Amino acid sequence: MIADRQMRSENRVVIAHVYTATTAIALGAIFGVFQGFSRAGAVDAPAWFDYYRILTLHGVLMALVFTTFFITGLSLFVTYRAIPRERALTVGWIGWIVMLIGTAMAAVEIVLGNATVLYTFYAPLKASPWFYIGATILVIGTWVVAYEIFENVVYWRKHNPGTPVPLVVFCAAATFVMWVVATLGVVAEMAMLIPWAFGWIPKVNVLLTRLFFWYFGHPLVYFWIMGAYIIWYNIIPKRYGGNVFSDALTRLTFIMLILLSTPVGIHHEFMDPGISSAWKALFTVTTYGVAIPSFITAFAIFASFELAAIKRGHKGFIATVRSLPWNDPAFSGAAYGMLLFILGGFGGLVNASYSMDAVVHNTIWVVGHFHVTVGGPVALTFLGAAYWMIPRLTGRALWKPEWALMQTRLWFVGMLVMSFAMHFAGLLGAPRRTSDVSYHGAAVAAAWQPYMIAAAAGGLLLFLAILLFVAVAVGTLLQNRKTESMEVEFAVPALSAETTPGALQHLFRWGAVALVLAVLVYAGPIAELVHAPGYSVAGMRTW
């Protein structure tokens, strides 16, 4: 048994990460609800804090800060609990501090209006160099956290020869193996942008920066999803007294995600010039490939629901659904997230097909799509998991668990309303990333208006839900009621007799394979670009 004191000091590291994520989503929600109202024509951003500065903050806080700090916190938490040992926490703290410094640098530049480049910072929009440096430092901080997790995997292997790494740690470590491979792309992009932003090099190759960005940008999405899968496979089954369906299949799923998440990024550039149709077709095929681990996950989760129901003597679909703990905030967050993910999956297949993409590319449809994927399944799973983690981190009982439950339901409804409205408006041609979509009263644009209002209403529900979340997260810290138990248990496999094949126990080797695969798939488009580089561009500040 590890000492209580050891556990408490580990918890403090995790609390730092999780509450940073909480702050990010709270601020992000304020900006988000404002955007909805602005697009509906109900409010205008003041000149001293324009819409695009707000949108940059929303995108960065939600997509980069909230998700990343939550996943680092979660992964450290499961690693610390599943591999109990005496350990120094220096590395864990350094990771958090470095991430925080990077975030603060980037945030200051955005707030000052020196980096109104949205979270994709497409060149030749030219932000202050300190914005790019801050973002790079944030990434380096995540590598420190990755090191901490990998070190624990190595420790486990040394002290438990022949025993596979605990499944939950395997999942967390796989997530970070994928992340390290993916972030190489954005660091390469920063190596181009930082000297350019300082003025040391006059021009930059725009297409190459976009290619590097999306080499990173798509796996970023899978980083979020893997974070949610860690929870779905290992934590949620315990909420309904179930098991993880199969140890080996879970490991296989995560290895497939390591391999397939990266060689797909060009599907974000289907409408770009300078990349020939043949490469776009290739990336359509690889993009469909990355759906396979999600098929396996859907099966594994429903199988686990059903096995748990059968164990308790229920049979059939309705009995199974009713036997699930819908009043448990952690479960209901994840379960509503899964429901939204089914919608998200259909939309994703549309986006990935390059012919259908022409209808929806850069319309508000796309924003609807990623709010039912990252905003729904991922964020809601994380919020639910926070309700499970916070008592186990602080030793305090959750303050107002009924508010927590209400939050998950409100978020589900709000997300449905907002993203359905966005999907429909997108099909009618409403663009994304635009402060005002009235186009001086054009008839085409008038048809979008009802959907803009519906989206704003959905956004308001989401905002109220976040208020509840923050109240519970902060309220728990401010009261002294002790939780019954801080014990942490992870799901065990249903098919426990079976052994996990050796090939499914490697992590770092699969990471190397993933890197080779990514390089191979990107070699074609990059060679094309080297052969015909286009003109480099000086860049400017257009805000």
Which of 218, 267, 268, 396 does the annotation list as catalytic? 218
Query: Is there a catalytic annotation at residue 122?
Result: no
Q: Is 535 a catalytic residue?
A: no
d(CA 471, CA 30): 15
Residue 162 CB-density burial (10 A; 0-12 exposed, 13-18 middle, 19+ buried): exposed
User: Which among 129, 145, 265, 140 is positioned nearest to 197, based on CA atoms?
Assistant: 129
CA dist 56 → 35, 50, 111, 399 (Å):
11, 10, 9, 33
Nearest to 104 by CA among 134, 124, 83: 134
The b-or-e profile of 488-505 (16+ CB within 10 A means b, else e) is bebbebbeeeeebeeebb
Q: State which residue, 83 or 418, has the beta carbon closest to ligand HEM.
A: 418
Q: For the chain, what's the residue count?
A: 543
Least CB distance to other proteins at residue 178 (A): 21
- Catalytic, 346? Answer no
Hey, which residues does 396 pair with through a beta bridge?
482
Sole window of 71-79, 266-274, 391-399, 458-466 interacting with ligand HEM (rule: CB under 6 A): 458-466
**Residue 165 parent element (H or E):** none
**Closer residue to Cu ion (CB): 218 or 432:** 218
Is 280 a binder of Cu ion (CB under 5 A)?
A: no
User: 155 or 543: whose CB is closer to Cu ion?
Assistant: 543
Q: Is 63 in the site for ligand HEM (CB under 6 A)?
A: yes
User: Do residues 294 and 369 make contact, with C-beta atoms less than 8 angstroms apart?
Assistant: no
One residue of 214, 341, 399, 463 binding ligand HEM per CB under 6 A: 463
In Å, what is the CA distance from 360 to each residue of 126, 357, 366, 483, 503? 27, 5, 7, 48, 41
Interface residue with ligand HEM, options 12, 314, 433, 541 (CB under 6 A): 433
Amino acid code (one letter) for 354 = Y
Q: Which of 35, 72, 142, 320 binds ligand HEM (CB under 6 A)?
A: 35
> How far, CA to CA in Å, does 93 sit from each of 98, 141, 473?
9, 10, 21
Q: Which residues, 203 to 232, sit near Cu ion by CB under 5 A?
A: 218
Contacts to ligand HEM from residues 379-418, by CB under 6 A = 379
Residue 433 designated active-site: yes
Please state, in angstroms and rounded to a whole number, the distance separating the CA atoms of residues 187 and 457.
Answer: 38
Establish whether 52 is a catalytic residue. Answer: no
370 classed as catalytic: yes
- Tell me which of other proteins, Cu ion, ligand HEM, none is bound by residue 35, counting a contact when its beta carbon lies within the kind-specific cut-off of 5 to 8 angstroms: ligand HEM
Return the residue of 375, 377, 493, 511 that touches ligand HEM, per CB under 6 A. Answer: 375
* Residue 196 or 463 having the CB closest to ligand HEM: 463
Task: List the catalytic residue out of 370, 382, 387, 451.
Answer: 370
462 interacts with, out of Cu ion, ligand HEM, other proteins, none, CB within 5 to 8 A per kind: ligand HEM
Task: Answer with the entry of ligand HEM, Cu ion, other proteins, none that 285 interacts with (C-beta below 5 to 8 A by kind).
Answer: other proteins
Count of residues near ligand HEM by CB under 6 A: 27
C-alpha to C-alpha distance for 145 and 94, rounded to whole angstroms = 8
> Taking a C-beta distance cutoff of 8 angstroms, is the pair 136, 187 a contact?
yes
Question: DSSP string covering 179-197, please?
Answer: HHHHHHHHHHHHHHHHHHH
Q: CB of 371: closest distance to ligand HEM in angstroms? A: 6
With CB cut-offs between 5 and 8 Å by kind, which of Cu ion, ligand HEM, other proteins, none does residue 218 bind?
Cu ion
Best CA proximity match to 367, nearest among 275, 430, 440: 430
535, interface contact from ligand HEM, other proteins, Cu ion, none, CB < 5-8 Å by kind? other proteins
Exactly one of 58, 126, 238, 268 binds ligand HEM (CB under 6 A); that residue is 58
Q: How far is the CB of 350 from Cu ion (least distance, A)?
A: 13
Rounded Cα gap, residues 288 and 263, in angstroms: 11
Q: Which of residues 333-372 bind ligand HEM (CB under 6 A)?
A: 367, 371
Q: Is residue 369 annotated as a catalytic residue, yes or no?
A: yes
Q: Which does 318 bind (CB under 5 to 8 A by kind): Cu ion, other proteins, ligand HEM, none?
A: none
140 vs 537, which CB is nearer to other proteins? Answer: 537
**Cα separation, 523 vs 282, whole angstroms:** 12
Q: How far is the CB of 104 from ligand HEM (least distance, A)?
A: 20
φ/ψ of residue 125, rounded to 5: -60, 130
In whole angstroms, give the CA distance from residue 149 to residue 152: 5
Q: Out of 33, 181, 208, 324, name the contact with ligand HEM by CB under 6 A.
A: 33
* Cβ-defined contacts of 347-354 (< 8 Å, 24+): 347/372, 347/373, 347/423, 348/291, 348/373, 349/288, 349/291, 351/267, 352/267, 352/284, 352/287, 352/288, 353/284, 354/267, 354/270, 354/280, 354/281, 354/284
Least distance (Å) from ligand HEM to the CB of residue 538?
A: 24
Q: Tell me which of 81, 392, 396, 432 is the catalytic residue.
A: 432
Residue 185 Cβ vs ligand HEM, minimum distance, rounded to whole Å: 18
119 binds, among Cu ion, other proteins, ligand HEM, none (CB under 5 to 8 A by kind): ligand HEM
Question: Out of 371, 392, 396, 423, which one is annotated catalytic?
Answer: 371
Residues that bind ligand HEM (CB under 6 A): 29, 32-33, 35-36, 39, 55, 58-59, 62-63, 66-67, 118-119, 367, 371, 374-375, 379, 432-434, 459, 462-463, 466
Residues that bind Cu ion (CB under 5 A): 218
Catalogue the active-site residues. Answer: 218, 222, 369-371, 432-433
